[in-house]
Chain A
């Protein structure tokens, strides 16, 4: 016991010191770290002689594995699992994506913005990247925006895994998946097996409480119900405005609710979030984002070689800006509903055929500005009928061809077709080469149509070659070369930028990622992404870093009881909106987490080295759109599961 105690506390004391004072990078090696050997195993020979009934009752120690991609996409997919969310202390979807190869997040006082292949400046991902929650398309139907922070629909504790699929997913998910898909899979009730209560607090007066019930009943019904509330006082940042030398930002609250119930092939799922926050330049003004959805899905077998999946959904988003005296107000948002049905057939030898149809009714897309006297309203609606089909053909044992496409037809008469093709070649076990090409078209969101009426239809052509190599069971290397060309690119965010068609935007890039698991429980994932984006005869778009690098290292402390997770994020220099270069930065985050019986606790220090840096978002704090990144801050979580 004493040994374990010292093994734990020696690095922890150092960790505390790191938190208390400015840390030097050299100190991150955590000297004094002790990895205790695993207990001696009973051999398989003894285990195989245990009566099978008794064997079923024995607990297992899950082996360390490299996470495998679950989506069929032929591109270089990035994966973050629930275990990594805990190990690295990710608080939001923004933190999760920021740890992935080639991606980076920037923030403004209100929202988080994603940058990746072919897109960088704030708002440019809106309507071009889609978020799928268990297959449900979550972006709103007015701005086309995905909400990554405390404005997002899900508590990360409910997430089983996140996959980011770069490249156009429009051939499967329609035009909102123009440049990429974030695929989130939520946990099941049985993953909790009881009631879990957790509390968290951190810098800037952050408090979060969550209560989750999850259970699978004997009749097979699996229920997950969760509620949470968060509050933070935010932080002060300097602005360019002489009238407001500093403003308080990120002082937000949220409430969330999530319900999932699965029985047989049926799944009902619903989520809701409300996030009010004061406007930094007038704290009397409260801006609130409210997102919600409900869906019912059925998966079943019609015949031995025919499966079906039917999904009915409804979603709602509302943004509201209000001042207490009612002198003015602004609301925007929309409602949508739809049905998606598909058939998966394996009638023909060597073919897996998917045929599907979706009808989506965006029956409300509206805004309303009230100036104290009059209301100025816009309201539109859209109906979209889509058909999609793909075939996965096994040309030989080693070579697979996937071809397909999706046709989206709108009630305004416009119609687009997004085809895709991929060859997957696996010459030997452990080696996979994927070559893919696709074309996608994108309709503007209602919000960008107001800013730039009658834009030309955006089109992207993507080509990618991916090489996945297993170097033994615990080492994986992924390399990717890609080329994207976006025609008629439209900046769909105002605030100093020209609204209108640009193009073509040409992006070329190379990415490499290495993952390795050591037998003593140490895990490493590290990546480098190089991107070169150009617009002919114009400066490159803002916030597109040429170099992005990530490192995630985690190791057990004190046997298996504690785990330390270190994340490093490097983002190279990139242009701001004033045409200058914002310097690159390296930020490190450290989390120590542990589980003991039904307890869970973790302590995270983000921006460990206290790096001063700016993110490029949009011009609401400084004219050149630089937003100061968060200084060193900490976050502590404690949870208990009543089984």
Chain B
């Protein structure tokens, strides 16, 4: 092999990829977990839970199963409220803790267990969200999908109805897909 060709190719690389380096495309892009945390916060704001007698006193428990990075990002929402209740982020380690959640997030890769968690909830008013396609099929109410560098979500209305949760029209309008209409 002649050494000139590889050198030429190497230079070609430099021209294609750095000569016109433009930082603008990247400045506005948001890290994935920061965005997912913001979506969860918005989901909570755009969902109506059935009235519960002692609702005013307790915290809004946002439970995360898996994904420590998401928990770290959610820490940035400390001090915020959902339905006038202080937001509390819980890292779920045991199925026994399920019932104290208002929002349950099942992370990518935990789909099989996610399905069992949804089964265990059996219509309890817990908003279930996931970014695992398998947990989505297993009956999560909201499923996050990544589409050409944008975060989108799908809504499963049947699952939400069973749990007596109501989504705002805005949430439904912004969804990529709504199932069970």
Contacts and interface: CB of A to CB of B under 8 A. Distances in A.
A and B associate: yes
Interface of A: 1, 4-5, 8-9, 12-13, 15-17, 19-21, 39, 41-45, 47-48, 50, 52-53, 55-63, 65, 68-70, 72, 190, 193, 203, 220, 304, 307, 346, 349-350, 352, 392, 394, 397, 426, 428-429, 472-473, 558, 560-562, 592, 594, 596-597, 599, 601, 603, 605, 632, 634, 636
Nearest to A193: B148
B134 interface: yes
A19 B32 contact: no
Given A20-B1, A52-B42, A190-B148, A42 B32 contact: no
B69 A45 contact: no
Nearest to B91: A429
Given A4-B18, A12-B10, A58 B150 contact: yes
Given A20-B3, A397-B95, A601-B16, A636 B9 contact: yes
A15 B3 CA distance: 11
29 contacts: A1-B21, A4-B21, A8-B18, A13-B7, A17-B3, A20-B1, A44-B38, A44-B74, A50-B38, A52-B174, A53-B174, A58-B29, A58-B35, A59-B30, A60-B31, A60-B149, A61-B30, A62-B32, A473-B67, A473-B69, A561-B18, A594-B17, A597-B25, A601-B16, A601-B17, A603-B6, A603-B13, A632-B1, A636-B9
Contacts of B48: none
B31 A190 contact: no
Contact of A16 (B7, B31, B74): B7
Contact of B34 (A12, A47, A65, A558): A47
A65 B3 CA distance: 37
Nearest to B96: A397
Contacts of A57: 150
Given A16-B6, A20-B3, A43 B34 contact: yes
B58 interface: no
B63 interface: no
A130 B132 CA distance: 27
Closest 7 CB pairs of A and B: A20-B3, A68-B109, A44-B76, A19-B6, A63-B32, A16-B10, A59-B29
Interface string B93-137: 111100000000000110011011001000000000000001001
Contact of B80 (A48, A53, A55, A634): A48
Contact of B150 (A4, A52, A60): A60
Contacts of B18: 1, 4-5, 8-9, 558, 561
Interface in B47-68: 66-68
Contacts of A346: 115, 119
A561 B67 contact: no
B29 to A, nearest CB: 4
Contacts of B76: 43-45, 48
A447 B137 CA distance: 42
A61 B31 contact: yes
A80 B148 CA distance: 21
Contact of A60 (B9, B19, B112, B146): B146
B103 to A, nearest CB: 14
A8 B14 contact: yes
A473 B16 contact: no
Contacts of B42: 48, 52, 55
Given A39-B27, A428-B93, A56 B152 contact: yes
B129 to A, nearest CB: 14
B17 A48 contact: no
A426 B93 CA distance: 11
A60 B36 CA distance: 10
Given A5-B19, A428-B93, A16 B38 contact: no
Contact of B134 (A61, A70, A392, A429): A70
A558 B77 contact: no
Nearest to A643: B148
A298 B41 CA distance: 36
Nearest to A600: B16
A295 to B, nearest CB: 21
B167 interface: no
A341 B111 CA distance: 23
A21 B152 contact: no
A60 B142 CA distance: 19
Given A220-B177, A560-B26, 13 more contacts: A12-B10, A15-B6, A39-B27, A42-B30, A48-B80, A55-B35, A57-B150, A59-B149, A60-B150, A346-B115, A426-B113, A599-B16, A603-B13
B35 A21 contact: no
B30 A8 contact: no
B149 A48 contact: no
Given A59-B29, A346-B119, A47 B93 contact: no
Nearest to B27: A39
B157 to A, nearest CB: 13
Contacts of B96: 397
A47 B174 CA distance: 17
Contact of B38 (A55, A65, A605): A55
Nearest to B20: A596
B87 to A, nearest CB: 10
Contacts of A307: 137
A596 B16 contact: yes
Contacts of A193: 148
Contact of B33 (A63, A352, A428, A601): A63
Contact of B31 (A19, A55, A63, A426): A63
Interface string B157-181: 0100000000000100010010000
B174 A594 contact: no
Contacts of B95: 397
B37 interface: yes
B62 to A, nearest CB: 13
A55 B30 CA distance: 9
Nearest to B40: A48
Contacts of A70: 134
Given A4-B18, A44-B76, A60 B151 contact: yes
A48 B9 contact: no
Given A193-B148, A203-B1, A397-B94, A55 B39 contact: yes
A424 B138 CA distance: 20
A477 to B, nearest CB: 16
Contacts of B115: 346, 352
B68 A47 contact: no
Contacts of B13: 8, 12, 562, 592, 594, 601, 603
B156 to A, nearest CB: 11
Contact of B68 (A15, A69, A220, A472): A472
B173 to A, nearest CB: 9
Residue with the greatest number of chain B CB neighbours at <10 A, chosen from A15, A220, A426: A15
Nearest to A304: B158
Nearest to A394: B116
B16 A41 contact: no
B180 to A, nearest CB: 10
A203 B12 CA distance: 18
B35 A52 contact: no
